[in-house]
Amino acid sequence: TGPNDEIGRLTSTINGMLERLQMAYSELEESYRRQRRFVSDASHELRTPLTTIRGNVDLLEKMWKQTASVGSVPERQQLEMSLEAMHDIAGESERMSRLVNDMLSLARADAGIQMPKMELQMLPLVAGVARKAQLLPRSVEWITGDLTPLQGVYVQGNRDYLQQLIYIFVENAFKYTDQGFVKLDAVRTESQIGLRIADTGIGMNSEEVPMIFERFYRVDVSRGKTAGTGLGLSIAKWIIDEHHGSIQVESRPGEGSTFIIWLPISSISDSEREQAFPPP
Ligand code: ADP
């Protein structure tokens, strides 16, 4: 056999391998697509029964409370016990709803769903979040610091997701802070805007910090402390990546944590903006 035959054999072997690789790849892609689809469908399906459970629990609680006010002593004791059980069910279904919502967000992330983006003025967006943060369940002081670095700053972004992003950090700060305060302010560099959320809460070890953005990861001390899902920061990470931003974390156990969300400032100049989006 000559070198030509040898080359021919080699070529067909390589071609065969390539074909098999291509097939394996398509199969993988298909199974990945099915898996993402499944997670997203499952999340949708789980929401409906959860809403029903929640509604019925609320109704029963109300009815039993009414009965408890008129019943005899043993009846009232029994009702009180079942009220406690109801309370647990309500709490757990609430937690599960949050879990399902978070999983749905991550399923969207995995499915590579694009967020529609536009030029967003940052000052009103962040000031709006700061106002609403006062209404969140919290036991410590809420401080809106200096937001003037946001003046005139635009970001290519998605309004809803950016709001959700800030809430994730603010809610965490409230969850993991028992005394002191939670503060939001802004800092800027030439090309980036930083939204800073600082708390005087439980803080974390430096080894812990890189892990908290992983799905379902929760620092040991915070397990059981609150009804978190361990998914908030992985959603935050996805939103930041989608905006080509980054996250800076400083934290000390027992002293508190500071998170800075860095986002690239939109480079469209003011005059271009005036032309593209004339003032009303
Ligand atoms: P969770 O639902 O548990 O809050 P997250 O993904 O939002 O999930 O956060 C992951 C973990 O990071 C939390 O369980 C907590 O241990 C830690 N963490 C997040 N934010 C803070 C904070 N401000 N202070 C201290 N620990 C925090």
Residue 141, pLDDT score: 97
Can you tell me the distance from the alpha carbon of 42 to that of 129, in angstroms, rounded to the nearest whole number? 31
Report residue 116: phi and psi, to 5°: -65, 135
State if residue 199 touches ligand 1 by the CB under 6 angstroms criterion: yes
Helix axis angle for 232-242 and 73-110, nearest 10°, is: 30
H/E element, 218: none
Of 197 and 70, which is predicted with more confidence? 197
pLDDT in tens, 227-262: 688 999 999 999 999 999 999 999 999 999 999 999
The answer to whether 123 touches 153, Cβ cutoff 8 Å, is yes
Nearest to 212 by CA among 172, 178, 165: 172
- Which phi and psi angles does 269 have, rounded to 5°? -75, 160
Q: What is the pLDDT of residue 74?
A: 80
Q: Decide: 228 in ligand 1 pocket, CB within 6 A.
A: yes
Ligand 1 neighbourhood includes 230 CB (under 6 angstroms)? yes
Pick the residue whose CA is nearest to atom 14 on ligand 1: 218
149 lines ligand 1 (CB under 6 A): no
Query: Residue 221: its pLDDT value, please?
Result: 62
* Best probe residue, ligand 1, of 199, 222, 238, 255 (max atoms within 8 Å of C-beta): 222
Instruction: Tell me what ipTM this predicted complex has.
Output: 0.98
Taking only the tens place, the pLDDT of each residue in 146-175 is 999 999 999 999 999 999 999 999 999 999
Whether 105 lines ligand 1, by a CB cut-off of 6 Å, is no
**What share of the chain has pLDDT > 90, as a percent?**
51
- pLDDT category of residue 38 using cuts at 50, 70 and 90: confident
pLDDT classification of 29: cutoffs 50, 70, 90: confident
Q: Which of 175, 258, 261 to mutate to test the pocket of ligand 1 (most atoms within 8 A of CB)?
A: 175
Distance between CA atoms of residues 183 and 212, nearest Å: 21
Report the C-alpha gap between 257 and 182 in whole angstroms.
10
For residue 218, give the ligand 1 atom closest to its CA.
Answer: 14
Q: For residue 280, name the pLDDT band (cuts at 50, 70, 90).
A: low
Comparing 23-32, 74-83, 261-270, the range with the smallest average pLDDT is 74-83
- Which residues are CB-neighbours of 6 under 8 A, at least 6 positions away? none
Atom of ligand 1 nearest to the CA of 217: 10
Report the residue count for the chain: 280
Phi, psi of 246 (to 5 degrees): -150, 170
Expressed in angstroms and rounded, the spacing between residue 146 Cα and the centre of ligand 1 is 25
Q: Is the CB of 169 under 6 A from ligand 1?
A: no
Q: Is pLDDT at 225 greater than 70 in this prediction?
A: no
Average pLDDT, the chain: 88
> CB under 8 Å to 143, separation ≥6 — which residues?
181, 182, 183, 184
Question: Average pLDDT for residues 100-118, to the nearest whole number?
Answer: 85
The alpha carbons of the chain give a radius of gyration, in whole angstroms, of 26
Ligand 1, residues 106, 176, 257: which to mutate, most atoms within 8 A of Cβ?
176
Find the 57 Cα to ligand 1 centroid distance in Å.
29
273 pLDDT tier (thresholds 50, 70, 90): low
For 170-198, the pLDDT digits (tens) are 999 999 999 999 999 999 999 999 999 99
E strands, the chain, are 118-121, 141-144, 154-157, 181-188, 192-199, 246-252, 256-264
